[in-house]
Structure 1
Amino acid sequence: MTHTKNWLNSISLHLRIALIGFVWLCSYGTGYAQNDTIILKNKDRLIGEIKEMDRGVLIIETDYSDSDFKLKWIDIKKLSSDQTFLITLKEGKRINSKLQMDSINGGRVVLHDIITKDYIYTTIDDIVYVKSVKQGFVSRLDASLSIGLNLTQSNNFKQLSVRSTLGYTANYWSVAGSYNAIKTRQDESEDINRTDASLGLKYFFNHDYFINVSSEILSNNEQQLKLRVTTKAGVGKYFVHTNRVYFGSAVGLAWNNERYEEALGTNRNSAEAFVGMELNMFDFKDFSLLTNAVVYPSLTESRRVRSDIKLDVKYDLPLDFFIKMGATYNYDKRPPEGANKEDYVFQATFGWEL
């Protein structure tokens, strides 16, 4: 009983970190009466408030339904709204504009940049992101939280898995963070603890170029790593940016600070270069896939190379619930003597997203 109580106390911090802010976000609502009009290719008509279009799916809130409607962007024939939106085009151009779609002229979309006052004529396929900027702070947030729990009587086995994300999108920049953790307890066996988290800022330019500044932390038993903090800065570009796929890459420099278990008797500080890629695939039925890989060749330690790889596959359920399968792999070609070169984890979780 004491063992179980201690285990529950030890995981409470991880749950609080993942849940803080998330419950706060869910307690807020948005309430601007709008008369945005959408006509679909099958001639169905919806009137309400357009909230967002991301990853090929448009979300609209109506007075006659408790749940938001989700529509495929490519199924829209005509659209009219007096709201101002943050709109991203396929070539990476980001503008603030009202949104009008002219069904008479082959589905041409007319945009009016409120900053430059220019009129832009484009097509529905060239628009990859739309978000209302008349709403408040909460409307610009994206969040998800998924949890997995395993309990068995044999050896009093207990395991908690947490995977979470939180992001904010402004006109020309975005902030994204993540927090993932696994804690395992078992009688007559060493506890397993693993935590990785990240926080990053991107500033976007034309043609899908961006500057990226981020910090990542990692701790795990397998590599006897008490804490690794990697701070990096670089430049990148999205080579593919559509309503179904994002693919980009970034390069830059990083500073790596590591603290190992006392038994190893060593700590490290090193400078590194990095090159990374990210692939985000969505709107493939109810499935989506996100993977990124980063390689860190050391600039101050001879022949040392590290790499971090992450993969998430998500299956969407009704009411914004989902099932997620996640995998993370960490490799270090030259770890301290007595530590393993690699660590990996697979997580299956159930969650909800904002």
Structure 2
Amino acid sequence: MLSRTLLCTVLASCSLSAVADTVWLKNGDRLTGTIKLYDGGRLLLSTDYGGEISLKWDKIATLETDQNLLVKYDEEKGEHSKGIKAAEQGKVTLVNGSPRTVDMASIEQMMPPKPVLEDWVWTGNVDFSLDHKQAENDVEDYDIDFKTNARHGRWRHNLQGEYNREKKNDQVSTNNYSAQYALDRFLDEHWFWQGQAQYKRDWIEDLAKKRTVGTGPGYQFWDNELGAFSLAALVNRNDYEFVDDEKDHFYSSSVKWDYNRYLLAKQFELFTNGEISKPLESNVDYELESEAGVRYKLTSWASLSLKAEWDKLSGHDGDVNERRYTLGLGVGW
């Protein structure tokens, strides 16, 4: 009985060791964890003892993993590897049919391929920002926005919202909030059909209330460890209420975009998203809602963000043209 217990313990230890990826550094150190991705000259290693560790590629002697990885040599050339075995310094052996040893310097990117989703995957971020504008000295600014999406199989739920308030010399100059929900149904790996609903309330600008519902096709160009990019073309029903009690409802066509890209092993994130719409027949000429910015990761969950927003509406009943520049802290998951 004791021998069986010892045997089970040894086998369990070997199994746990086999699961962990191993990275050997040129200074002789050895690190174990899970390889998340390699991009921009840095390898991101997730560990249970130090969180996510970013390693310089030129400081790594070799590495080993049993993961299926997409190994890219440039924008066009690449291959799927069923695992990587350690080799002499500066080289690795790709396990894919017949093993092949390659120079590490020839590898440009390396990441696990994204599997077909069966369970919930939830990501998002919340930013708490300070606003900077050309204004008087006595200014109070608040800016809170969030964006999150959850994927389950062929369904994806997208939710985002924002609250902005600015006070200058006891006069409120900005006071609004908005919320948006979109549901995507993927038809295959790239094409999806989207339905969306939006609501915005503003107590300062000419456009006091805005309600929009729409639907249309979309295309996901990519969605992996390095980021995502998608476009959607929608037909919408819009209901506007202005401060002078005038109301307008009309149909419009619009194009939405959502893009983000991680750099230097997820140390930086570039992002932009928005929607531009053209009414089919209305007193409104066109409308643009957009934002773009960069996030810098401070810890595995906290980040510093710099963001620019541009909201513009042109119409016969009034114009809205607002630009905001915000700097703040955020929480991501």
1:206 aligns with one of 168, 188, 209: 188
The CA deviation at 1:316 is 1.4
Task: Give the structure 2 partner of residue 279 of structure 1.
Answer: 259
Q: 1:169 to 1:88 in 2, by over 3 A?
A: farther
Root-mean-square deviation (Å): 4.2
Q: How does 1:1-354 map to 2 (within 5 A)?
A: 36-40=19-23, 42=25, 60-62=46-48, 65=49, 67-70=50-53, 77-80=63-66, 100-103=82-85, 106-108=93-95, 125=110, 127-129=112-114, 140-149=121-130, 157-221=139-203, 223-239=205-221, 243-244=225-226, 246-261=228-243, 264-284=244-264, 286-301=267-282, 304-336=285-317, 339-354=318-333
Residue 323 of structure 2 aligns with an amino acid whose one-letter code is: Y
How many residues are treated as equivalent by the alignment? Answer: 284
Task: Indicate how the Cα distance of structure 1 residues 59 and 126 shifts in structure 2: closer, same or farther if over 3 A, else same.
Answer: closer
Q: Quick check: which one's helix share is greater?
A: 1
Deviation at 1:320, TM superposition (A): 2.5
State the percentage of identical aligned residues: 13
Cα distance in 2 for residues equivalent to 1:41 and 1:174? 39
State the shift of 1:253 in Å. Answer: 0.9
Distance (Å, rounded) in 2 between the aligned partners of 1:100 and 1:327: 42
Larger Rg: 2
Q: 2:285, 2:71 → 1: CA distance?
A: 40
1:167 counterpart letter in structure 2? N
**In structure 2, what is the Cα distance between the partners aligned to 1:243 and 1:80?**
18
Equivalent position SS for 2:153: coil
CA contact (8 A) 2:36 2:112 kept: no
Query: What CA deviation, in whole Å up to 9, does each residue of 1:33-53 have, x standing for no partner?
Result: 9663213374876556x5977
SS of equivalent to 1:206: coil
Query: What secondary structure sits across from 2:205 in the alignment?
Result: coil
Q: Is the 8 A contact 1:149 1:158 kept in 2?
A: no
Q: Which moved more, 1:169-178 or 1:53-62?
A: 53-62
Q: Structure 1 residues 54, 190: closer, same or farther in 2, change over 3 A?
A: farther
Q: Distance in 2 between matches of 1:174 and 1:161?
A: 27
Task: Write the letter of the residue equivalent to 1:314.
Answer: R
Residue type of the alignment partner of 2:254: F
Which consecutive unaligned segments of at least 5 residues does structure 2 have?
A: 1-14, 73-80, 87-91, 98-108
Q: Which has the higher strand share?
A: 2
- How many Å apart are 1:209 and its aligned residue? 1.7
Deviation at 1:130, TM superposition (A): 6.2
Matched-pair contact (CA < 8 Å) for 1:222–1:343 = no
For the 8 Å contact 2:176–2:202, the answer to whether it is kept is yes
- Counterpart Cα distance in 2 of 1:258 and 1:69: 47
Q: Is the 8 A contact 2:123 2:150 kept in 1?
A: yes
Verify the 8 A CA contact 1:37 1:45 in the aligned structure 2.
no
TM-score, structure 2 length as denominator? 0.68
Q: CA deviation at 1:229?
A: 2.0
Instruction: Give me the whole-angstrom Cα distance separating, in 2, the residues matched to 1:53 and 1:172.
Output: 25
8 A Cα contact 2:258 2:274, kept in partner = yes
Secondary structure of 1:254's partner?
Answer: strand
